[in-house]
Structure 1
Amino acid sequence: MQTATAPVAAEPRRAPRPRADALRNRERIIAAAREMFVEYGAERPLDEIARRAGVGNATIYRHFADRRELITSVVLSVMDRVSAQAEAAAAEEADPFDALRRFVHAAADERIGALCPMLSDTFDQDQAELNAARERLERDVEGLMRRAREAGRLRADVAVGDLMVALSQLTRPLPGTPCPNIDQFVHRHLQLFLDGLQAPARSELPGSAATLDDLRKS
């Protein structure tokens, strides 16, 4: 007498992995959008972003349902890259202020000014992935600033929000001006800013130190 064989459960179907060329196109779109958001703002026409990325308009819509989704993807990409720069600076630089200085210049190269859409009323702040990336960034940057402060190298009356506002402003062209050569001045002006952050402070700042939460409420 033969024993009935138990049926073998079918393996769950796995979603196909994105093709390598599709992933490359997505990264090219995000990189192009990041550059254009810094230069012109987040309302730049999508067809102009497509041209800079070297793809067709249809390719943008295959990856992003609308402008809002593209903006969110750019913001997430920039926050992740900037956080990685903060973590690398903290791990590799012995001097706390040198770590902060390295981070500031690296964040400029990562086009941190592309985070400015986060301050808009139309930007959707309540997303789990976005909140996690924001918390990581705030934690990493505050860690750099705290170590520099505790070492007596950073003035005590500045916070993460102050640093991020200055970084965003100093790495973007003035509104309405193309400023194609701004990159040659950015690191020079950042160095002047960093000199002003060092302790002992030469003046008393008006108001109170700004946190990222303060920026979201403004």
Structure 2
Amino acid sequence: MATVTRTGTAQRNAPRPRADAVRNRERIVAAAREMFVEFGPEVPLDEIARRAGVGNATLYRHFPDRDELIRHVVVSVMSRTTDRADAATAEEADPFDALRRFVHAAADERIGALCPMLADGFDKEHPELLAERARLEHAVDGLMERARQAGRLRDDVAVGDLMVALSQLTRPLPGSACVNFDQFVHRHLQLFLDGLEAPARSVLPGSPATLEDLRRES
């Protein structure tokens, strides 16, 4: 019992990060997210520091190496995307409207840009990453199941189908500097969403893509 008390006291007395340190960390993650989308995950770290408005030493104090920074960016994007899914679920009365809102929100979060970051050497089994991935998958599965139960989503699609489409349609080519890329992303996503609505206008080849299918391929 005494040990628990000492542990609890130590946690309460642990110094909180200074507000400026928290702001710097958030600015670094935001800048890294932008530059990874634009130029790929190999962009020089000093360029990320420059865009974030901090010195190199500040960046390395928060993120000792590139892999740790990439992991924090991936987790941040997943977390923000899950929050958008939860908000759509809570605020939209029509389940398909909630799904549509989420898909466009996920595009705005640049979720497709995560794929190039998950290259060889990236720790895909890190506990923080696994926890955030599970939270995202649960939220998206819930969105689709509600739409399906309401008769608004065709029966022959699964979460994997949606995630593949999001990945492919929201992933700009690094360094392409595609002008007005967003307007094309949302147009094409809307075409895809129209194809998800029930009743289905055609029979899809193959079988629905599950998350387990995607993991077997990776």
Question: Counterpart of 1:191?
Answer: 190
1:60 pairs with 2:52: no
Which amino acid is the alignment partner of residue 167 of structure 1? Answer: L
Which residue matches 2:180?
181
Q: In 1, Cα distance between the equivalents of 2:134 and 2:117?
A: 14
Distance 1:214 1:130 in 2: 19
> Displacement of 1:211 after TM fit?
2.6
Q: Does 1:105 align with 2:104?
A: yes
Amino acid at match of 2:130: N
Distance in structure 2 (CA, Å) of the matches to 1:50 and 1:212: 35
Q: Tell whether 2:47 aligns with 1:48.
A: yes
The residue aligned with 2:19 is 20
- Of the structure 1 ranges 97-106 and 15-24, higher mean CA displacement relative to structure 2 is found in 15-24
In structure 2, what residue type is equivalent to 1:200? P
TM-score, reference length from structure 1: 0.87
The change in CA–CA distance for 1:16 and 1:86 in structure 2 (over 3 A counts) is same
Q: Which runs of 4+ in 1 moved over 4 A?
A: none
> Normalised by the size of structure 2, how large is the TM-score?
0.87
Larger radius of gyration: 1
Higher helix share: 2
Measured after TM superposition, the shift of residue 175 of structure 1 is 5.0
Q: How many residue pairs align between the two structures?
A: 209
**1:95-138, CA deviations, whole angstroms, 9 ceiling, x for partnerless residues?**
01000001111111122123214643322121222111111111
Report 1:1-218 matches (<5 A): 12=10, 14-117=13-116, 119-174=118-173, 176-218=175-217
* Offset, 1:200: 1.8
User: RMSD between aligned alpha carbons?
Assistant: 2.0
Structure 2 SS opposite 1:115: helix
> 1:189, CA displacement in angstroms?
1.8
Alpha-carbon distance in 2 for matches of 1:38, 1:197: 27
